[in-house]
Amino acid sequence: MTDPYLPELGDSRFRTTHYDLELDYRPYSGRLDARARISAVAAERDLAEFGLDLGPFRISRVMVDGRRPARYTHRGDKLRIRPARPVRAGTLFTVEVRYTGVPRPVRTRDWGDLGWEQLEEGALVASQPSGARSWFPCNDRLADKAAYRMTVTAPSPYTVVANGALVSRTISASTTAWVYEQAEPMAPYLATVQIGLYDLVDVANPGAVPQPAAVPQRLLGRFARDFARQPQMMAAFTDLFGPYPFDDYGVVVVDEDLDVPVEAQGLSIFGANHVDGRRGSERLVAHELAHQWFGNSLTIAEWRHIWLNEGFAKYAEWLWSEISGGPSAAALAAKFRNRLALMPQDVRIGDPGLRRLFDDRVYHRGALTLHALRTVIGHAAFVSLLHEWTTTHRHGLVTTEQFTALAQRHAQHPLDGLFTMWLYDEKLPALPEPRR
């Protein structure tokens, strides 16, 4: 099924298992020459034709199963492919697409430009929720998580960071090919490539989860202070949420200002404005780290469940404040509940609608929902719930209904009323009184 919020994206007639992307990028012209080899499985019916999401590139070849070129049409960011022979239901097949052009961000009314963006020195990718087609052909569905291998070639002065582990780096006369492998399944919107003039440093001490970072040289001093407590955050969140779900956690600081940091699987991207040398954006460091559990390992099955990503990440900010000696989560909950009470109460965060997908009220009311739940069932039960939640659904898909059902198993009293008030009623509820 397609997502009701973005029904034009994706094709539910097949399931992707692996993307092998070869990208040759020239920062000065912005030109991208690329090859994508996609492995997939046909669903319940034979595939006489199928679709991939891809922006306005010039396509030079499309092949299915390495045979003779397939027929295709490419209109409206949809690449429709008709193989020489139908793909039998349930069978594995491969698609190869060769394409070239200057990537253009996907322009949206509510969220600005999404996807590949050319920088003054390099490029960044921030695709949430619908910008993946700006740089590679994909089945852009949340439910279609796959493994990735990315080979990115750029001029040698540039550093390339992508999802997963760096498995090789090959220097030729004037260019360097960087190869990354993301073994854990990943939704297309979380795939990313970052290209820039960066120094590579390590945030964490030996023995901890590796935490590499790519940072402009001029910002290294400020970065060292602003991200100094990220390893302690990682330890605290592991205690609260369960084991960290990936092999490492990377950070990229681009040498330009960004409205907000950007999450990707296994790494986060911050703007130069988020690095001030005074820990002025430390709450955002906590927010993006928390997304590795909530959003990246546990991926929502449909966009209507967005509060499961953003509510948890926002609440992680409050939990880190409490842990690190700042205001308690209870104090922050009371503060933001009072702020929300002064705003229009016309959002149901359990199904906010496409235009309000990233409304601040979804973030804050989502966090308030979790604080209300923690208050009602107690801290120990709340942590036990989160551990079971992240372990049971590790690298899978989740829904609000699954979460509320699991929460009920960790509670001594019915929670239907609590979740109805906070998730589905427009009127803002009062926070529950702490247990005595």
CB atoms < 10 A from the CB of 90, how many?
Answer: 11
Residues 196 and 213 sit within 8 Å (Cβ to Cβ): no
Structure confidence at residue 436 (pLDDT): 65
Structure confidence at residue 173 (pLDDT): 86
Beta strand 250-253 with 267-270 is parallel
Q: Which residues on adjacent β-strands are paired with residue 117? A: 124
The b-or-e profile of 165-184 (16+ CB within 10 A means b, else e) is ebeeeeeeeebbbbbbbbeb
Structure confidence at residue 356 (pLDDT): 95
Whether domain 1-106+127-186 has CATH 3.20.20.70: the reply is no
**CATH topology assigned to domain 299-424:** Neutral Protease; domain 2 (1.10.390)
**Residues in the chain, pLDDT under 50:** none
3-state secondary structure the chain: CCCCCCCCCCCCCEEEEEEEEEEEEECCCCEEEEEEEEEEEECCCCECCEEEECCCCEEEEEEECCCCECEEEEECCEEEEECCCCECCCCEEEEEEEEEECCCCEEECCCEEEEEEEECCEEEEECCCCCHHHCCCECCCCCCCEEEEEEEEEECCCEEEECCEEEEEEECCCEEEEEEEEEEEECHHHCCEEEECCEEEECCCCCCCCCEEEECHHHHHHHHHHCCCHHHHHHHHHHHHCCCCCCCCEEEECCCCCCCCEEECCEEEECHHHCCCCCCCHHHHHHHHHCCCECCCEEECCHHHCHHHHHHHHHHHHHHHHHCCCCCHHHHHHHHHHHHHCCCCCCCCCCCCHHHCCCHHHHHHHHHHHHHHHHHHCHHHHHHHHHHHHHHCCCCEECHHHHHHHHHHCCCCCCHHHHHHHHHCCCCCCCCCCCC
**Model confidence, pTM:** 0.96
**Residue among 131, 126, 161, 165 nearest 148 (CA):** 165
Instruction: Indicate the domain borders of the chain.
Output: 1-106+127-186, 198-292, 299-424
From 3.30.2010.30, 1.20.58.1910, 3.90.1580.10, 3.40.1110.10, which CATH number describes the 198-292 domain? 3.30.2010.30
